[in-house]
């Protein structure tokens, strides 16, 4: 309502409690985590301090950097796989399926996103085991058995469980919003199907695709379940490092260092990706 009073009680009711709540239970924890990265642990007790010892210790250890680059690599790799595997399916749903079918497909794909990732991972554990379902099926055609658990392959399968539905949804929605006449026009002008994808569809869906890839990356980068249970954690990823450091020996400050490094990495990548996604194509004014 326009009538101005110095304090609008109604407006504040909807605003202030949330601000306080989020400051207390979101900003508070994150800032406190930054703070404890400077605390010290003596005799298994954390004491307040402002020292760089945790940063020094963590960043000078080769196992941290091994883990850092491995996590970066495997998360990027798995995000790329998710994007590539999702593409033909999203293409089919966006251009070949009816609107109703597409809605149903998206409806179905939303479901796994809200169902227990943990149980799905455990299910993969049983499927991929040496004597598991997949090897038994391959055995019928005279193949295998393959070792799939405790490998990079296992880790990637776990990540895909998390990211593939999302990649398909985001790609489908992005491509379904493309003006179909543009594609027909390109085909009409003699553009070959693959060239049409490359020159028309991909440029038009650039923003949506980069965002989708970014989400896949963020989800894989921060997940500890897949590398732990399916990857065997021989090469620990950063989340596993946080887990181990926190759960064993109360080394929260060092875990905080790892967490902050992860967040900085994520912010840098997210920022770059979003800048790329919304950058105007070359030559456009």
Of residues 117 through 156, those in contact with another protein by CB under 8 A are 117-127, 129, 131-133, 135-137
Instruction: From 57, 52, 74, 31, select the one nearest 239 (Cα to Cα).
Output: 74
Residue 159 in tokens: 């990540």
Q: Which of residues 263-282 bind another protein (CB under 8 A)?
A: 263, 266, 270
Q: Which stretch binds another protein (CB under 8 A): 58-66, 162-170, 173-181, 202-210?
A: 162-170
Between the CA of residue 85 and those of 11, 79, 98, 163, what are the distances in Å?
Answer: 48, 10, 21, 11
Q: Residue 121, Cβ neighbours under 10 Å: how many?
A: 20
Which of residues 144, 246, 273, 274 is near another protein by CB under 8 A?
A: 246
Q: Which of residues 91-110 bind another protein (CB under 8 A)?
A: 91-93, 96, 105, 107-110
Fill in the per-residue mask, 4 to 23: x = in contact with another protein (CB under 8 A), - = not in contact: x-----xx-xxx-xxx-xxx
- Residues 121, 229: contact at Cβ < 8 Å? yes
Instruction: From 242, 225, 270, 6, select the one nearest 117 (Cα to Cα).
Output: 225
Pick between residue 137 and residue 143 the one whose CB is nearest to another protein.
Answer: 137
Q: Which own/partner pairs from 190-197 qualify as long-range (CB within 8 Å, at least 24 positions apart)?
A: 197/91
Pick between residue 34 and residue 276 the one whose CB is nearest to another protein.
Answer: 34
| Smallest gap from residue 14 Cβ to another protein (A) | 5
Pick between residue 44 and residue 282 the one whose CB is nearest to another protein.
Answer: 44
Pick between residue 119 and residue 284 the one whose CB is nearest to another protein.
Answer: 119
Instruction: Quote the CA–CA distance of 94 and 204 in Å, as a whole number.
Output: 14
Q: Which of residues 174-233 bind another protein (CB under 8 A)?
A: 218, 221-224, 229
| Smallest gap from residue 221 Cβ to another protein (A) | 7
Q: Residue 203, Cβ neighbours under 10 Å: how many?
A: 9
């Amino acid at each position: 309502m326009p009538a101005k009073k110095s304090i609008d009680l109604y407006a504040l009711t909807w605003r202030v409690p949330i601000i306080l709540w989020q400051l207390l239970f979101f900003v508070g924890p994150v800032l406190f985590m930054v703070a404890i990265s400077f605390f010290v642990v003596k005799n298994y007790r954390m004491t307040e301090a402002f020292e760089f010892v945790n940063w020094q210790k963590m960043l000078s250890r080769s196992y941290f950097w091994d883990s850092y680059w491995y996590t970066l690599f495997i998360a990027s790799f798995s995000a790329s796989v998710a994007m590539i595997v999702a593409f033909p399916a999203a293409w089919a749903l966006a251009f070949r399926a009816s609107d109703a079918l597409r809605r149903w497909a998206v409806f179905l794909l939303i479901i796994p996103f809200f169902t227990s990732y943990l149980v799905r991972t455990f299910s993969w554990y049983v499927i991929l085991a040496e004597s598991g379902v997949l090897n038994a099926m391959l055995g019928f055609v005279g193949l295998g058995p393959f070792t799939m658990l405790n490998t990079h392959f296992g880790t990637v399968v776990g990540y895909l469980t998390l990211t593939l539905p999302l990649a398909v949804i985001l790609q489908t929605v992005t491509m379904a919003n493309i003006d179909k006449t543009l594609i027909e026009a390109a085909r009409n002008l003699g553009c070959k199907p693959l060239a049409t994808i490359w020159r028309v569809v991909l440029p038009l869906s650039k923003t949506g695709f980069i965002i989708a890839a970014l989400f896949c990356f963020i989800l894989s980068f921060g997940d500890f379940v897949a590398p732990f249970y399916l990857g065997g954690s021989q090469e620990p990823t950063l989340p596993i490092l946080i887990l181990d450091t926190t759960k064993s020996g109360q080394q929260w400050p060092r875990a905080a260092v790892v967490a902050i490094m992860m967040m900085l990495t994520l912010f840098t990548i997210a920022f770059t990706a979003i800048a790329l996604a919304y950058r105007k194509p070359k030559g456009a004014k």
